[in-house]
Amino acid sequence: MCGIVGAVAERNVVEILLEGLKRLEYRGYDSAGVALLNDEGDLKRIREVGKVRKLTEAVERDGAPGSTGIAHTRWATHGGVTEENAHPHFSSERVAVVHNGIIENYVPLRKSLSSQGYTFTSDTDTETIAHVVHSMLDNGNSLLEAVKKAVTHFTGAYGTVVIDKADPDKMVVARSGSPLVIGLGLGENFVASDQLALLPVTRRFIFLEEGDVAEVTRRTVTIYDKSGERVEREVVESTIEHDAGDKAGYRHYMLKEIYEQPAVIRNTLQDRIDNLHNVDTLFGHGAENILKQVNHIQIIACGTSYHAGMTARYWLEEYAGVSCSVEIASEFRYRKSVVHENSLLVTISQSGETADTLAALRLAKELGYMSALTICNVPGSSLVRESDLAFMTLAGAEIGVASTKAFTTQLTAFLMLTLSIGKFNGLHEETEQKIIRAIKTLPGKIEEALGTAGVIENLAEEFADKHHSLFLGRGAQYPIAMEGALKLKEISYIHAEAYASGELKHGPLALIDEEMPVIVVAPNDELLEKLKSNVEEVRARGGIMYVFADVDAHFESDDTLRVINIPHCEDITAPIVYTVPLQLLSYYVALIKGTDVDQPRNLAKSVTVE
Ligand code: F6R
C-alpha cells in the first residue's frame, strides 16, 4: 500500500527520495509527493496524482534541492485521489508529515483542531497528525517531544515521519501498526516503509518495533519504546539483492517472477530438505518440542497465502496425521473461535505485514495457542518478529502485485512442515523418502511446466473477449483452481470463480454455456475418473473446456475441449506444478487485454490496513 521514504543528509536528497518511491511503486498507489527542507530552512512541497514518473518531471521542472526530505506514495483510503489529498501534509507551512495507516479517531480530532484554528486543506486522516504535532510544538515541545505526545492522541495505525521547518536537520518517526525501517548511512540516515526503497544507499537497517518513536539526524538515531524508555535496537545487514527491483529483461516483474520459480524453490529447499530431522534449525529454536506435541493446526492467512494454507491442509491431514483448519484472517479475528488443545497457529504471508494476519496472530496469542509459527518471505517483518517460530521462504523480493513465486515457495515450505510433523506421528519412512524424492524433482518439473508457455500464449487469445470463467479442481487441486481464478481476475479483470468440481451439479452447472470458459486442473491422481465425469457434465451442457492434464490422463482435444499437457509429477507435488501454467494463463490473457500487469487497478502489494 502507501510507501514512505525519508532522508537527512549533507547532500541533496531529492534523487534518493524519488528512487526510493520508484522502488515502492510495486506496492500500489494513486498519487505521490515529496517535501524538501533546504539549508535556509525553506520548505517546498510537490505532489502529483498518478505515477512517480509524473512527480519526477514536476520536481525537475519546479523542484528545489533539500538536505532533509520526506516522500510518499498514497493509496487512497480517506478522501479521493486528488493532489490536495496526496502526502506530505502540512500544518501552516511549518510541519510536514507522511503517513501510512489509518488514524481512526480523525473525525473528533479534526473537529477539535478546527476549533483551535487549524485549517484543513485535505479530506485525509493524515492531516490531523500534522496539526496535532504543530499544536504540541506551539506548547514549547521539541519535535521529538511533540511527536511523542502527539501519538498518544491517535487510535488506529500509523507509520509516520515528521519534519519541522524550524528544526531542519532531523526527522522524527513513529510506528504503530505500520512498518518503518531506519537505514543507516555515513553522515546521513534514512527511513522507509520497506527496506527495498533504501537498498541503493544502505544495507544496514534498524526495524522499528510497535510503539517506537525515533529521532533521526545525520549522525544519530535515538529510539524510544512504547513506554518512552530509550532503547537500542539491533542493526541488521540486509541480504536482499540490490537489483531485486530489476526486470532482468522480462517485460513484466510478474513474468520474471513466474520464471524465477525453479530457482527460488531450489533456494528454499537448499540445505533444508536433507536436514529435515533437525527441526529446530528449520523452524526456530524450540520447534522440535512444539511440533512433537501438536494435536491441531490452525492456519490463518489472506488471499493467495490463504490458498497455500488450503492446499497444505490436504497434506497435513493425510501425511502428517494432524487435524487442520484454515481460515481467512479477516474472519478469524472477528469471531469467537474454539482453541483445540495443543494447537499450533500457523500464519502465512509474503510480506509479513498484512494487517488482518498480524491482528489474527495477536489475537491467537491472547486465546492461548500453544505456539505460533509463521511462513513468511520477509525477514524482520512484523509477523516474523512476533511469532515464536518462523520458516523463511527464500523467494527474494516479489514486486508484481499478483503473488506467484511467493505462493509456490509457501507450498514448498508446507511440504517440509508436513514431513517434520509427520515424523512425530508415525509417517512411514518409505512414504517420507518418496515425498522427499518428489520435492527434489520440483524445480525441474516447474521448468518443464514453463515449457507450456507458447501453447498457453496462443490459447489466451480465446479468453480475451470473455467476461466470466469457471475454474474446477478436486482435492488439493481445488485450492489451486481458486488460486488460478484469483490470478485471472486480479490481472485481467475477467470474472473468475473456482469450484470443487464435485459441487458442479449443486449450482454452478446453471452457468455453463459457450461464453463461459471452464478451466479444469486434472493431474493423474485418484480423483481423475471422478473429474472426468465432471468434464462430461460440462460437455453435455455445451461448455468449452481447457483441461490442464497429466500426459497420462488420456484426455483428447476436440471441438469443445482443449488439452494442455503438463509433465507427469507425483500427486503430492502436483498442486505446485499445476499452479505455474495457470499463472501463465492469467499473464497472457492480461497482456492481450492490455491491463497493468504488475500493478493491477485498485490493488496494493502489502495490505497494511484493514
Ligand atoms: C494475490 C495476492 C494477495 C496476497 C494477500 C496476502 O495475488 O498477492 O491476495 O496474497 O494480500 O498478502 P501476504 O501474503 O503478504 O500476507
Tens digit of each residue's pLDDT (9 = 90 or more) over 316-374: 999 999 999 999 999 999 999 999 999 999 999 999 999 999 999 999 999 999 999 99
- In whole angstroms, how far apart are CA 477 and each of 20, 61, 132? 39, 54, 52
Active site residue 605: yes
Ligand 1 contacts CB of residue 305 (under 6 A)? yes
Ligand 1 contacts CB of residue 350 (under 6 A)? yes
581 cis-preceded (ω within 30 degrees of 0):
no
Q: Is the pLDDT confidence value at 69 over 70?
A: yes
Ligand 1 contacts CB of residue 303 (under 6 A)? yes
Type of residue at 28: G
**Kind of pairing between the strands at 221-224 and 230-231:** antiparallel
- What is the average pLDDT score of the chain? 93
Strand order in the sheet with 31-37: 43-49, 31-37, 68-74, 3-8, 189-192, 181-184, 204-207, 236-237
What is residue 604's predicted lDDT score, i.e. its pLDDT?
Answer: 81
pLDDT cut 70: percent of the chain above it:
99
What is residue 239's predicted lDDT score, i.e. its pLDDT?
Answer: 77
Ligand 1 contacts CB of residue 347 (under 6 A)? no
What is residue 379's predicted lDDT score, i.e. its pLDDT?
Answer: 85
User: Which residue's C-alpha comes closest to atom 16 of ligand 1?
Assistant: 349
Spatial neighbors of 262 by CB under 8 A, at least 6 apart, are 442, 443, 444, 446, 447, 450
Among 605, 470, 610, 495, smallest CA distance to 25 is for: 605
C-alpha cell at 607: 495490505
Ligand 1 contacts CB of residue 357 (under 6 A)? yes
Going by pLDDT thresholds of 50, 70 and 90, the confidence category of residue 148 is: very high
What is residue 245's predicted lDDT score, i.e. its pLDDT?
Answer: 64
CA–CA gap between residue 555 and residue 548 (Å, rounded)? 9
Active site residue 569: no
Q: Is the pLDDT confidence value at 505 over 90?
A: no
What is residue 136's predicted lDDT score, i.e. its pLDDT?
Answer: 97
Among 501, 476, 499, smallest CA distance to 313 is for: 476
Going by pLDDT thresholds of 50, 70 and 90, the confidence category of residue 496 is: very high
Give helix then strand counts, H and E, for the chain: 19, 25
Distance 115 CA to ligand 1 centre (A): 42
Distance 169 CA to ligand 1 centre (A): 38
Ligand 1 contacts CB of residue 349 (under 6 A)? yes
Spatial neighbors of 441 by CB under 8 A, at least 6 apart, are 569, 570, 573
pLDDT in tens, 230-278: 999 999 988 776 666 678 889 999 999 999 999 999 999 988 988 888 8
318 vs 537: which has the higher pLDDT: 318
What is residue 531's predicted lDDT score, i.e. its pLDDT?
Answer: 81
Distance 406 CA to ligand 1 centre (A): 9
For residue 128, report the phi and psi dihedrals to the nearest 5 degrees. Answer: -65, -35
CA–CA gap between residue 215 and residue 356 (Å, rounded)? 29
Distance 330 CA to ligand 1 centre (A): 13
- The catalytic residue among 22, 148, 445, 605 is 605
pLDDT cut 90: percent of the chain above it:
80
Q: Is the pLDDT confidence value at 486 over 90?
A: yes
User: Which residue's C-alpha comes closest to atom 11 of ligand 1?
Assistant: 303
Top mutation candidate among 354, 492, 587, 602 for ligand 1, by most atoms within 8 Å of CB: 354
Residue 495's beta-bridge partner residues? 468
C-alpha cell at 507: 449450482
Top mutation candidate among 607, 608, 609 for ligand 1, by most atoms within 8 Å of CB: 607
H-state helical runs in 398-452: 405-422, 429-450
What is residue 261's predicted lDDT score, i.e. its pLDDT?
Answer: 97
What is the pTM (predicted TM-score) of this model? 0.81
Top mutation candidate among 252, 354, 403, 599 for ligand 1, by most atoms within 8 Å of CB: 403
Going by pLDDT thresholds of 50, 70 and 90, the confidence category of residue 203 is: very high
Q: Given its phi and psi angles, is residue 371 left (phi above 0), alpha (psi -120 to 50 degrees) or beta?
A: beta
Length of the chain as a residue count: 610
Distance 316 CA to ligand 1 centre (A): 22
What is residue 354's predicted lDDT score, i.e. its pLDDT?
Answer: 94
User: Which residue's C-alpha comes closest to atom 8 of ligand 1?
Assistant: 403
Ligand 1 contacts CB of residue 404 (under 6 A)? no
Mean pLDDT across the stretch 585-599? 95
**Kind and range of the H or E element at 91?**
strand 89-91
What is residue 300's predicted lDDT score, i.e. its pLDDT?
Answer: 98
What is residue 554's predicted lDDT score, i.e. its pLDDT?
Answer: 86
CA–CA gap between residue 305 and residue 311 (Å, rounded)? 10
Q: Is the pLDDT confidence value at 488 over 70?
A: yes
Distance 287 CA to ligand 1 centre (A): 26
Distance 349 CA to ligand 1 centre (A): 7
What is residue 449's predicted lDDT score, i.e. its pLDDT?
Answer: 96
Which of 71-75, 401-405, 506-510 bottoms out in mean pLDDT, i.e. has the lowest? 506-510
Mean pLDDT across the stretch 37-46? 90
For residue 247, report the phi and psi dihedrals to the nearest 5 degrees. Answer: -85, -5
The DSSP string of 173-242 is EEEEBS--EEEE-SS-EEEESSGGGGTTT-SEEEEPPTT-EEEEESS-EEEE-TTS-EE----EE--S-G
H-state helical runs in 234-302: 253-259, 261-269, 279-283, 287-293
Residue 173's beta-bridge partner residues? 161, 214
What is residue 242's predicted lDDT score, i.e. its pLDDT?
Answer: 63
CA 78, distance to chain mean position in Å, is 22
Which of 26-35, 185-194, 257-266, 430-439 bottoms out in mean pLDDT, i.e. has the lowest? 26-35
Nearest atom within ligand 1 for CA of residue 303: 9
